[in-house]
Amino acid sequence: MKWQRGYRSSDVQDNRGRSAVGGAGMLGPALMIGSKFGLPGILIALAVVYGLPRLMGGSSQSLAPQQESAPGQSAPDERGQFISFVFDDAQRTWTEQLAGSSQPYAKAKLVLFTGQTPSACGTSSSAVGPFYCPPDQKVYIDLSFYDELARRFGAPGDFAQAYVIAHEVGHHVQNLLGIERRVRKSGGPTKGEDSTPVKLELQADCFAGIWAHSTKRRDLLEAGDIEEGLAAAAAVGDDRLQKQATGRVRPETWTHGSAAQRADWFKRGYSTGKPSSCDTFEGAM
């Protein structure tokens, strides 16, 4: 992916190396929505543990790409710079998408942390993976998660990393549009292939695809990028994670969707670039 090296976002808060002290009491799993990337006690995954939609950060400088190539660890904090660039770029995309609508895009923040961090959803560790906390409207991520994503789940590459951030922004969009609140009030199963959590996660994958569509339109894509994003989406499907963890697949317990579903909805958003194509609920958009 083409991106601007040295990029810094005013909406990214760097708490790496700081100890987690204090933090609000845990509000419960139903309020920690968006993406908790992991199955606590079993796997760390790129999939989002069911939660409410979240808000995401904003842009601080021009997004014109100046450099190409994937973020590595050779340059000082190159990965943090890449995350800043993607986060702002995804938010700018949704600012444009929602311009002129009854609900314009509102900025959120992204917090980089090490080990564990306090949030309005309680103190969380890197073991849960990236997540979004609705009460403080922030995305939290320990960048060591990306090493796990590449090594353990076979989804390397800069665009796989970008997919994680774009998915979180997708949950924020759900929150702004009131989708999560409406579907929860309407009831429905909380686990299984056709459950509310699965539909929310698949929609966030589709929203991530819309951002990917914008990068193609703006000539930010490089060869293999979309394949990396699709591989990351599939790598965190419930069926693959369950198969790896226990050797069994139990669709009645799913909260994120299958590998095929996640990749398909990401692809749908990428192909159309239209939020109306991402209605995993009837009439949710």
Q: Are 70 and 59 in contact (CB under 8 A)?
A: no
Report the interhelical angle of 225-235 vs 196-217 (nearest 10°): 170
In this structure, which amino acid lies at residue 169? V
Render the burial of 165-188: b for 16+ CB within 10 Å, e for the rest: bbbbbbbbbbbbbebbeebbeeee
pLDDT at 32: 57
pLDDT at 139: 87
pLDDT at 62: 33
Reported pTM: 0.82
Token duo for residue 229: 């994003």
Q: What does the pLDDT profile of the chain (285 residues) look like in tens digits? A: 999 888 889 999 998 887 655 443 333 333 455 544 543 322 333 333 333 232 222 222 333 344 444 444 434 588 899 999 999 999 999 999 999 999 999 998 999 999 988 888 888 888 888 888 877 888 889 988 898 889 988 999 999 999 999 999 999 899 889 998 888 888 888 999 999 999 999 999 999 999 999 999 999 999 999 999 999 999 999 999 999 999 999 999 999 999 999 999 999 999 999 999 999 997 655
State the DSSP string of the chain: --B-TT---TTEEE-TT------PPP--GGGS-S--EEETTTEEEEEEPS-----B----S-----B-S---SSSTTHHHHHHHHHHHHHHHHHHHHTTTSSS---B-EEEE-SSEE--TT--EEGGG-SEEETTTTEEEE-THHHHHHHHTTS--SHHHHHHHHHHHHHHHHHHHHTHHHHHHHT---SSSTTSHHHHHHHHHHHHHHHHHHHHHHTT---TTHHHHHHHHHHHT-HHHHHHHHHS---GGG-SS--HHHHHHHHHHHHHH--GGGG-SSTT--
- The Cα-based distances of 158 to 5, 163, 199, 227, 254 in angstroms read 13, 9, 26, 11, 27
pLDDT at 283: 60
Q: What are phi and psi of 160, to 5 degrees?
A: -65, -40
pLDDT tens digit string along 19-35?
655 443 333 333 455 54
pLDDT at 42: 29
Rg (CA), the chain: 17
